[in-house]
Amino acid sequence: MANFYTTDFNYELLRTQLEILRANFTPNQTSVKITDVTEFFKAMTPVQRELLSEVCQLFQLLLVIQPATNAVSSEMSFSAL
């Protein structure tokens, strides 16, 4: 993905924002589901989302490219942001 979207992301900023995102989930969680991240973003104000703009953009992209079997839930999740 990084090779295809080279100009779409600021990768240093994305790396930093992913660390911030990770800090918002408990350390003992072995995995974070897409629904967890969706709920996290839904609870944020637009200003808060702007602070994680690169992560939001990446997450929206991931929701769009999910397997076709999840297409309906992806569209609903994408709309919720």
Q: What is the pLDDT of residue 62?
A: 83
Question: Is residue 9 within 8 Å of residue 57, measured between CB atoms?
Answer: yes
Q: Beta-carbon neighbour count of residue 49 at 10 Å? A: 14
Higher pLDDT residue, 10 or 28? Answer: 10
pLDDT at 74 over 90: no
**For the whole model, what pTM was predicted?**
0.68
Q: What amino acid occupies position 65? A: I
Q: What is the pLDDT of residues 11-44, one digit of tens each?
A: 999 999 999 998 888 877 778 888 888 899 999 9
